[in-house]
Structure 1
Amino acid sequence: MSGRVLVLLYHLTEDEAGIETAYHQVSAELAGVPGLLGNELLRSVHDSRAFLVLSTWRDRAAFDAWEQGSSHKASTAPLRPFRDTENPRALGVYRQIAEHGDKG
């Protein structure tokens, strides 16, 4: 069983260029953060205003250490204006318990 953790941040905006710019800015800030395996910006095929930032972490301890660190809020600030305030759970943290398929 893998200890990987997936973090989902829900965003809602009509400003595609703005959220893409903010995503790339935050991603550059997070480069090299211990335990962060990668992240991606996803856009809903059902609602063009709905975006999701999905980040993959080595384990819960690595995510918690970063989230509780002093640079967390400043490094993610560019994405904050796009947060989906209509969603009572704009953040989801999931632990991987199983997987199938080709990773390539």
Structure 2
Amino acid sequence: MIRVLIERQFVEGMREELERVVREVIQEAVRAPGYLSGEILRDVEDNNHFVVISNWRSLEHWDAWYASDARRRVMACVEPMLQEPEHITVAEPV
């Protein structure tokens, strides 16, 4: 199993829209082979900073999702709202 941590900093004033879009990304990921679970966290000190933590069966499953048309489609909606590029960390339990 691997865990993927995605940090996204959104532009000011788009909170409702960005919460909706981030949920759409998770809903699409849930359908992806190898997806196990995930959660969305919002920084208590910065309402525009979101962290997504997802668990995948393997690195290959994550890589397939990352390169998928489904992710590209939802990210096309997310990217215009980002203040900076998303930061992704892929990790495994030790």
**Structure 2 portions without partners, runs of 5+:** none
TM-score of the pair, normalised by structure 1: 0.70
Residue of structure 2 in register with 1:93 after alignment: 90
Structure 2 distance, partners of 1:96, 1:84, is 30
Runs of 4+ in 1 over 4 A off after TM superposition: none
Residue of structure 1 in register with 2:49 after alignment: 50
Matched AA of 1:93: V
3-state SS of paired residue (2:16): helix
- Tell me: CA distance 1:82–1:6, structure 2 relative to 1, closer, same or farther (3 Å): farther
Alpha-carbon distance, 1:90 to partner: 1.4
Instruction: Please tell me the root mean square deviation across aligned C-alpha atoms, in Å.
Output: 2.2
Query: Is the Cα contact below 8 Å between 2:29 and 2:71 reproduced in 1?
Result: no
Aligned length: 92
Alpha-carbon distance, 1:27 to partner: 2.3
Higher Cα radius of gyration: 1
Query: Is the Cα contact below 8 Å between 2:25 and 2:71 reproduced in 1?
Result: no
TM-score of the pair, normalised by structure 2: 0.76
**What are the superposed Cα offsets for residues 67-100 of structure 1, whole Å, 9 maximum, x if unpaired?**
2334331133332234351x7x711111122xxx
Matched AA of 1:9: I
Residue of structure 1 in register with 2:2 after alignment: 5
Give the alignment of 1:23-42 within 5 angstroms.
23-42=22-41
Structure 2 distance, partners of 1:24, 1:36, is 15
